[in-house]
Structure 1
Amino acid sequence: MNANGKADTTVLVVDDVAASRYALGEVLRRDGHDVVLVASAAEALAELDARGRAGTLPDVALVDVGLPDMSGFDLCRRLKESPPTAALPVVHFSAVKVAPADRCLGLDAGGEAYLTVPAEPEEIQAVVRAVARGARHRSDAEAEAGNLTLLAETILDVQSARCPSELAHAAAVGAGRLTGGPAVAFIVGDDGAVHRGLSRRRAAATLPDDGAHDAVARLVLRTMAGRVGIRDTVVPAPLWPPGFFHAVPLDDTSPAGGARITVARSREGCAPVCLAIPSYTSVGDPGTARLVGRLAHATALAAERLLMYEMERHIALTLQRSFLPTHVPQAPGTEVVVRYEPASSDTEIGGDFYAALPTPAGVLTAIGDVVGHSLEAATVMVEIRHALRAYCVDESDPRTLAHRLDKMLQRYHPDATTTLCLALVDPATGRTRVANAGHIPPLIVDDAGTAKYLKASGPLLGLGLDRPPPTETVLRRTDRLLMVTDGLIETRGTDLAASMEHLRGVAADAPLGVAALCDTLLACFGHDSDDDMALLALRLTGLD
């Protein structure tokens, strides 16, 4: 008997002899079992079918071998072959078939034990208890294995999250699957921002407002004040904001409106994570609570990584934007327009840069990309841009400038490489000299609707290789010089040459003007890019 005075197990007795059937039933009832009595295999199958649909299958079946409509062995085989009853333990019994060969037939049919009757009541009770206990252990082990598999799948989803919002959603869905009810996850950032995720089981019409999220954040921070690891507690309704879960069922006797929360923090100073389920939802056995705790801990580790990355990306992006103004100084006789779009939020910062600098020999335009995606790449980008500005004070030749930048990288950043394209334009004559270091060559777009790439190439900066002479051309006032980084057009699975041809065609059809050219290209190519995008366009306006 359990703590509530009810039977722990239900035993189905299948026996066509009424006196024997009732005698077995009485013996089992005295041992605390709930007993269901049937007189034939057909009745047994019907009873099991009904109980299977209701989710109340018995724990053990005690089956007479000599049934009138089907042998007990055949009934056992049929039960074991049917998925709904395959795990039901079967104990055969017989007063006639008592030879060792009969016992072998029972075991071969899938039975767990074989009784010879008449038998002492204590023996019958012990055999049924042992079989039921073994079945429970197997069931518990299978459930534990299933839960561990579910936890592993959930942690994989958590570790695959690309941003805190995705992480909170994955954690909430995983907590809901582990507990079989609604769940909500919170990640509290250092800046007080709360990232929330909901399981799919939630069906409330409206969500709580910002005040409710702030209340949860304060509760989480108070719970983990000065602590690391995992904490599990129940928050009563007066302290838990309403609206995150379904309304409490009318016949529920547990406290209404509260929540059971599991809070985790990977280490001091890191963001705490909270997984919450309603107080009217039971987490089942302590093993389930431990699984939720492990999920909360895995989520906290993932949150630490993602939030540190977001902070690094914010610093890098701020640094990059601070040195890449949206407008460049205009030199007499030219109009220069630049555009810069960072990569999507789930991608690391890149090292794209541009410049338009006045020199004694004309306007020097530059565009480049430090290889790699990190704060270091953005830092190297800033150094290259500063070095270029310093070098061009007394030097204008693009080839010489590229050579100096190459030596600077080799000395101070020997592991870094950079693509760079430099173009020196004389506003008075249109004479243009281009030095290219592994970058997409400039595109010349004229007002007549044609566009062509300059034949300018050379090795990347940072390799210490010889630089070819500059490529020369003459810009007309009806021409536009376009320089871009590969993030604008590069797509996984698409050949770069095909992407460059696509860019050429779009640029040729773009409206007149340098601003319209850049905006048209961004509208066509600049969607959900995995890389930063930089554009620089120049045209001659004539010297007065």
Structure 2
Amino acid sequence: MDVDEKPTGTTVMVVDDVAASRYAMGSVLSRAGHRVVAVASGGEALDELAERQRKGTLPDVALVDVGLPDMSGFELCRRFKERPHTAGIPVVHFSAALVAPAIRCQGLDTGDEAYLTVPAEPEEIEAVVRAAVRSARLRADNQALVRRLTLQSETIVAIQSARSPQELADAAADGAARLTGTPAAVFVLDQDDQLYRGLSRDRTAVALPDEGAHRAVSALLRRLTRGQSDVQLTTVPAPLWPTGFFRPGVQHDARLALVLTQDGRAPVCLAAPARGMRRLGPEGEALLAQLAQATALAAEPLLMYQVERHVALTLQHSFLPRPHKLPELPGINVSVRYVPASRETEIGGDFYAALRLDDGVLAAVGDVVGHSLDAATVMVEIRHALRAYCVEESDPAVLAERLDRMLRRYHPELTATVCLVQLDPGTGRIRIANAGHIPPLILRDSGSAEYAKASGPLLGLGLPHPTPTELFLERGDRLLMITDGLIETRGVDLEVSMEQLRAAASGALPGLDALCDTLLASFGHDREDDIAMLALRLTK
């Protein structure tokens, strides 16, 4: 029962089976301004706690008689402490009987804060209650600080581990929501006005804001960050903040933490409902500001890499001939594919080439080792060097030697793999020089599929290259060349992946396009590296 209906201080639960004692203790605490909840047994106390837990009105402290009728006060304290929702409630044991020190130690072992011998002076009772509550709140504050710092560290690690602006926005939104306990949205606007948006996971995917809402946010970010240099905290009223970023179809005033990347060009915004942020006070706003700064620091290199990736892909697409622009090659049909890496942070140096020779055709597939703009530009150099060397030389081993010398002279820090196939369409004779690359897969018209036994050192090492491997293609046979991006999987032996490719290729439908499409459908999803593929066969 509640003794004081107009509480002004903390809530104190008094557990005592003697009605007169409950009344006396409750009167002392009520006069001191506390709200008192009095119960007569351990079972009643646990039931009362369960009910108050549902309502979110747990007491601030419990005064528990040692000698209860259904369980000892020490046992009741133990049950308090073993339940996560009540473990933080401080317990003060009391008794009117003389209790030996060894028995009092049981209370300390179960986690109580203090021990009172009653009757006691009101000032002593009040002081013990204040001390117990103060100690509990200090512990709770320390635990909250540890939790917050842990969450903050986890969030910053997730932000710094992001591999693209979109991953960054998603990680920052989830981190902001966990730190503040409110829905959160994060926006990163690059210099080309592309908006990357992340919403916290508690936000349903239904009824997402439309393109008009995103355009409005982009314009707002540009306007609010114009001329700013530090973190800016501002509130945007609901009519100006698009509906639905925090809750579907619901308007909110938005509290924003705005900051520019270090180069001052890309605005970063962390947004949360203003009402939720007001409940958190200055501490919550400081968290939002710190997270905005960490997000901006992580955004700059990712956005720069986006520019670099765009340049590299432009190079690759400019210098790799599209399938419909392949040169006329007498006596053979050719099909090619090129697929950039799925990961936005990867730029590869993969290439293919199909060139006319005086005495046939040269097919090549290669890969500059590494993932960078340098790898893409060196890929272009190798491909153009190969075109130039082919004017006077057709032996694939000699071509490999020349490419090796070129790479060592102009790019001594890089290596590359390449597979070169010289084909005489009249006789079907092929000569293969393989510099550290996956060998060609020969698919016979009879249905068999085997890798050519051709190997050699990488380009850039200065090692001699063996004489070419010679084979013959019959009409209807197909030859397939790939880069390892198609099949290489972290943690899986390359030979296992090659065997899986061989099995899939042997079961593909006839035709070059069907072969390439089948393999891309089977292996080409979510790859961490670029994929280059070239398939050819003699014309009938």
Residue 400 of structure 1 deviates from its aligned partner by: 1.7
Distance in 1 between residues matched to 2:162 and 2:225, nearest whole Å? 24
**Matching of residue 322 in structure 1 with residue 323 in structure 2:** no
Distance change in 2, residues 1:521/1:8 (3 Å): same
Tell me the CA shift for residue 219 of structure 1: 2.1
- 1:72-87 correspondence to structure 2 within 5 Å: 72-87=73-88
Query: What one-letter code is carried by the residue in structure 2 that aligns with 1:308?
Result: M
Q: Aligned-pair distance for 1:275? A: 2.2
2:401 & 2:220 partners in 1: Cα distance?
59
Q: Which residue of 2 aligns with 1:181?
A: 182
Amino acid at match of 2:321: P
The counterpart of 2:494, out of the listed 493, 496, 508, is 496
* Cα deviation digits, residues 340-391 of structure 1 (max 9, x gap): 2222134512111122222333322222111122211111111111111222
Aligned residues of 1:347 and 1:531 also touching (Cα < 8 A):
no
Q: Which amino acid aligns with 1:491?
A: T
Matched residues in 1 for 2:289 and 2:432: separation?
61
Distance 1:342 1:69 in 2: 72
Task: Tell me the SS of whatever aligns to 2:385.
Answer: helix
1:171-320 equivalences under 5 Å are 171-203=172-204, 205-246=206-247, 257-282=252-277, 283-320=279-316
Query: How far apart are residue 213 of structure 1 and its match?
Result: 1.2
User: What are the Cα deviations for residues 396-448 of structure 1, in whole angstroms up to 9, with x where unaligned?
Assistant: 22222211111111111112111112222334444433222122223343444
Aligned residues with identical type, % of pairs: 65
Q: What is the CA–CA distance in structure 2 between the aligned matches of 1:26 and 1:378, rounded to whole Å?
A: 82
1:379 aligns with 377
Preserved CA contact (<8 Å) 2:343 2:527: no
Contact 2:92 2:115 in 1 (8 A): yes
Is contact 1:204–1:244 with CA below 8 Å preserved after alignment?
no
Residues in 1 aligned to 2:374 and 2:421: alpha-carbon distance in whole angstroms: 26
Q: Distance in 1 between matches of 2:235 and 2:304?
A: 30
Q: Return the alpha-carbon distance in structure 2 between the equivalents of residues 463 and 330 of structure 1.
A: 34
| Structure 2: unaligned runs, 5 residues or longer | 1-5
Q: Which runs of 5+ in 1 are unaligned?
A: 250-255
* CA distances 1:188-232 after superposition (whole Å, capped 9, x unpaired): 222111122222333585222212112222222333323344332
What does residue 3 of structure 2 align with? none
CA distance, structure 2, for counterparts of residue 57 and residue 412 of structure 1: 74
Check whether the contact 1:204–1:246 (CA below 8 A) recurs between aligned residues: no
CA contact (8 A) 2:204 2:248 kept: no
Q: Which residue of 2 aligns with 1:348?
A: 346
Distance 1:437 1:488 in 2: 18
Is 1:338–1:536's contact at 8 Å kept on the other side of the alignment? yes
How far does residue 168 in structure 1 lie from its aligned partner after superposition? 2.3
SS state of the match for residue 244, structure 1? coil
Query: Superposed, which structure 2 residues align to 1:87-126 within 5 Å?
Result: 87-97=88-98, 104=105, 106-108=107-109, 110-126=111-127
Q: What secondary structure does 1:280 align onto?
A: helix
Task: Identify the match of residue 415 of structure 1 among 391, 413, 416.
Answer: 413
Matches within 5 A, 1:38-57: 38-57=39-58
Rate the CA distance shift 1:83–1:529 in 2: closer, same or farther, 3 A: closer
Query: Contact 1:204–1:243 (CA<8 Å) still a contact in 2?
Result: no
Secondary structure of the residue aligned to 2:167 is helix
Quote the RMSD (CA, aligned, Å).
3.0
CA contact (8 A) 1:518 1:537 kept: yes
Q: Secondary structure at the match of 2:256?
A: strand
- Kindly indicate whether the alpha-carbon contact (under 8 Å) linking 1:229 and 1:267 is maintained by their aligned counterparts in 2: no
Call closer, same or farther: CA 1:325–1:69 in 2, change over 3 Å.
closer
Counterparts of 1:69 and 1:500, CA distance in 2: 72
For the residue of structure 1 that corresponds to 2:144, the secondary structure is helix
What is the SS of the residue equivalent to 1:85? Answer: coil
- State the Cα distance separating 1:464 from its structure 2 match: 0.7
The equivalent residue for 1:253 is none
Aligned match of 1:394: 392
SS in structure 1 opposite 2:272? strand
Q: Is the 8 A contact 2:229 2:264 kept in 1?
A: no
Partner of 1:533: 531
1:248 touches 1:280 (CA, 8 Å); kept in 2? no
Q: In the aligned structure 1, how far is the partner of 2:49 from the partner of 2:255?
A: 37
Does the alignment pair 1:34 with 2:35? yes
Question: Structure 2: which amino acid aligns with 1:167?
Answer: L
- Mapped contact 2:206–2:248 kept (Cα < 8 A): no
Question: 1:209/1:501 Cα in 2 relative to 1: closer, same or farther (>3 Å)?
Answer: closer
How far apart are the structure 1 equivalents of 2:22 and 2:213?
Answer: 62
Question: Residue 271 of structure 1 aligns to which amino acid in structure 2?
Answer: A
Whether contact under 8 Å (2:447, 2:506) holds in the other structure is yes
Is the 1:258–1:278 Cα contact (8 Å) retained in structure 2? yes
8 Å CA contact retained: 1:181, 1:201 = no
Give the distance between the partners of 2:65 and 2:472, measured in 1 at CA: 103
CA contact (8 A) 1:270 1:304 kept: no
Q: Give the drift of 1:290.
A: 2.7
Tell me the alpha carbon deviations over residues 489-521 of structure 1, each in whole angstroms, 9 at most, x when there is no partner. 333444433443444444445444444443343
* Distance in 1, Cα, partners of 2:514 & 2:109: 83
Residue type of the partner of 2:434? N
State the TM-score, normalized to the length of structure 1. 0.87
Give the 3 Å change call, closer, same or farther, for CA 77–488 of structure 1 in structure 2: closer
With over 3 angstroms needed to count, the CA separation of the structure-2 counterparts of 1:506 and 1:40, relative to structure 1, is: closer
Does the aligned pair in 1 maintain the 2:306–2:345 contact within 8 Å? no
> What is the rounded CA distance, in whole Å, between the counterparts of 2:27 and 2:507 in structure 1?
93
TM superposition score normalised by structure 2? 0.88
Cα distance in 1 between the residues matched to 2:75 and 2:498 = 73
Amino acid at match of 2:272: I
SS of alignment partner, residue 116 of structure 2: strand
Q: Which residue of 2 aligns with 1:252?
A: none
Equivalent AA in structure 1 for residue 51 of structure 2: A
Provide closer, same or farther for how the CA distance between residues 459 and 38 of structure 1 changes in structure 2, counting only shifts above 3 A.
Answer: closer
**CA 1:177–1:499 in structure 2 vs 1: closer, same or farther (change >3 Å)?**
closer
Quickly say closer, same or farther: Cα 1:36–1:357, change in 2 above 3 A.
same
